[in-house]
């Protein structure tokens, strides 16, 4: 296979051609919209999880099934969606995936049983996998590799609006229609996204990929894993997201259940975290101008260590006012906002000719890491154990990013 860089692409449609500052405005906005559906899909019903459990008569592990089903479907779909995007194109995969997501979202809000809801969330997760896979691939297709980290950080700063808005939108919607109202907002998001993609998304798949689209997912992994940059990127996204997913899937029972926060107070904690993620992405854009991605990851590691150990210490000390916890968690979110685009750029950079499959495997690593740490947190009963697992994930992230420096590869 002959390496190919985005800077050499002369066949891109006008709407996809990069600017001197990174990806085109069209690609940046569409990628942000596709990526934003993922945090919206998880964060929009965080404060309604207790209501969902009450309606179906289940505790934290039962409610977590809806989130884990979404994540499992999301991870499983990565095994073939990346290859499909490489073979058939980015546009058809994105359109079909969003359409399937919309149907599953409608089934979810009309589910009469927890089992059907879990199945619907599984399908939602699988369909939603098209968003991050295609979004990351669009950037790799259209932006020179040396600018990919900054371009991804810019996309992250835009889609950071989704996790900021989601908890409040979900709280407002659940006030009118319970957890079904919260999940109903995903139907609206999916309709708007599908229409926008249909009208605006260009095809960016290279015309000739020299057989890379026919490489099996297993062979692709073997090829990728021989490159240290890919390994570091996967370890970083897996452990970093492990802390976040543990928090998202079990923290409602800590905040609303044990600590007695109101739904609005819990929403402030979640929203402040999303603002921290947005801020981290904006900082990453600036740091990427004069720092290597791995150096940015090491700065992120320090922030994530502080942002996981501090809240644990405050809760153990009994100083767990919602505003205190909000401030204590903030550095973690800033660190994750710094880390996610840089780790993704590091992992995908060596593989322009197999961008879809590289994006898919990075997504798998992130979701496997998230599920692994979250299952441990739930198995330990959530509550304070959630914060302990978050510390373990942050420490693991730090170990990963302090591996020997990754040499730039095009």
Give the CATH number for residue 104.
Answer: 1.20.1250.20
What is the spatial distance between Cα 13 and Cα 77, in angstroms, rounded to a whole number?
A: 28
What pLDDT shows up at residue 9?
Answer: 55
Backbone angles phi, psi at 142, to 5 degrees: -110, -15
Q: Are 9 and 141 in contact (CB under 8 A)?
A: yes
| pLDDT beneath 70, residues of the chain | 1-11, 20-22, 60, 145-146, 207-216, 404-410
10 part of a folded domain: no
Instruction: Determine the 3-state secondary structure of 403 from DSSP.
Output: coil
What pLDDT shows up at residue 213?
Answer: 54
Which tens digits make up the pLDDT trace of 150-196?
777 778 777 777 877 887 788 888 888 888 999 999 999 999 999 99
120 part of a folded domain: yes
Domain count, the chain: 1
Q: Are 245 and 370 in contact (CB under 8 A)?
A: yes
What is the spatial distance between Cα 175 and Cα 268, in angstroms, rounded to a whole number?
A: 16
122 part of a folded domain: yes
11 part of a folded domain: no
Q: Which two tokens stand for residue 105?
A: 């979202």
Rounding to the nearest 10 degrees, give the CA dihedral for residues 211, 216, 221, 227.
Answer: -20
Give me the residue label for tokens 């979404």: 70
7 part of a folded domain: no
Which residues sit opposite 22 in a β-bridge?
Answer: 19
Chain centre to alpha carbon of residue 72: 13
What is the spatial distance between Cα 279 and Cα 258, in angstroms, rounded to a whole number?
A: 30
What pLDDT shows up at residue 237?
Answer: 93
Rounding to the nearest 10 degrees, give the CA dihedral for residues 34, 201, 185, 267.
Answer: 30
372 part of a folded domain: yes
Backbone angles phi, psi at 207, to 5 degrees: -65, -30
Backbone angles phi, psi at 22, to 5 degrees: 135, -140
What pLDDT shows up at residue 1?
Answer: 35
What pLDDT shows up at residue 97?
Answer: 96
Q: In terms of Cα–Cα distance, which of 350, 390, 387 is closest to 369?
A: 390
Instruction: Determine the 3-state secondary structure of 123 from DSSP.
Output: helix
| Secondary structure element (H or E) that encloses residue 33, with its range | helix 25-43
3-state secondary structure 287-315: HCCCCCHHHHHHHHHHHHHHHHHHHHHHH
Range of the domain at 66: 23-200+214-401
205 part of a folded domain: no
What is the spatial distance between Cα 233 and Cα 339, in angstroms, rounded to a whole number?
A: 10
Q: Judging by beta carbons within 10 Å of its beta carbon (0-12, 13-18, 19+), is residue 105 exposed, middle or buried?
A: buried
Query: How many CB atoms are located within 10 Å of the residue 26 CB?
Result: 18
4 part of a folded domain: no
Q: Which two tokens stand for residue 339?
A: 């880390």
Q: Which two tokens stand for residue 66?
A: 């809806």
Query: How many CB atoms are located within 10 Å of the residue 259 CB?
Result: 18
What pTM value is reported for the model? 0.72
């Amino acid at each position: 296979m002959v390496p190919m860089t985005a800077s050499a692409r002369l066949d891109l449609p006008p709407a996809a051609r990069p600017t001197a500052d990174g990806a085109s405005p069209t690609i940046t906005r569409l990628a942000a919209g596709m990526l934003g559906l993922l945090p919206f899909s998880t964060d929009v019903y965080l404060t309604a999880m207790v209501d969902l459990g009450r309606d179906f008569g289940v505790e934290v592990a039962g409610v977590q099934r809806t989130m884990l089903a979404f994540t499992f479907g999301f991870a499983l779909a990565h095994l073939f969606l990346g290859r499909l995007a490489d073979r058939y194109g980015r546009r058809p995969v994105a359109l079909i995936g969003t359409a399937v997501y919309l149907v599953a979202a409608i089934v979810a809000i009309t589910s009469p049983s927890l089992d059907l809801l879990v199945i619907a969330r599984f399908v939602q997760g699988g369909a939603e996998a098209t968003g991050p896979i295609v979004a990351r691939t669009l950037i790799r297709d259209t932006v020179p590799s040396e600018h990919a980290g900054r371009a991804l950080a810019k996309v992250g700063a835009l889609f950071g609006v989704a996790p900021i808005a989601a908890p409040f939108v979900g709280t407002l919607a659940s006030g009118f229609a319970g957890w079904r109202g919260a999940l109903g907002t995903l139907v609206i998001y999916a309709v708007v996204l599908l229409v926008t993609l249909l009208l605006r998304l260009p095809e960016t798949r290279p015309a000739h990929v020299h057989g890379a689209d026919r490489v099996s997912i297993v062979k692709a992994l073997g090829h990728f894993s021989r490159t240290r940059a890919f390994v570091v990127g996967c370890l970083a996204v897996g452990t970093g997201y492990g802390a976040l997913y543990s928090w998202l899937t079990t923290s409602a029972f800590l905040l609303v259940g044990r600590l007695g926060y109101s739904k609005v107070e819990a929403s402030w904690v979640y929203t402040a975290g999303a603002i921290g993620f947005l801020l981290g992405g904006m900082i990453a854009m600036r740091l990427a101008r004069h720092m290597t991605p791995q150096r940015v990851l090491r700065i992120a590691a320090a922030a994530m260590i502080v942002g996981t150990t501090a809240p644990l210490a405050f809760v153990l000390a009994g100083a767990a006012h919602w505003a205190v916890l909000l401030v204590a968690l903030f550095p973690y979110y800033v660190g994750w906002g710094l880390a996610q685009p840089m780790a993704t750029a590091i992992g995908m950079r060596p593989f322009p000719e197999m961008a879809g499959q590289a994006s898919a495997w990075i997504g798998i690593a992130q979701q496997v890491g998230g599920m692994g740490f979250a299952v441990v947190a739930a198995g330990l009963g959530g509550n304070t154990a959630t914060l302990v697992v978050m510390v373990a994930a942050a420490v693991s992230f730090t170990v990963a990013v302090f591996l020997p420096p990754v040499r730039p590869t095009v």
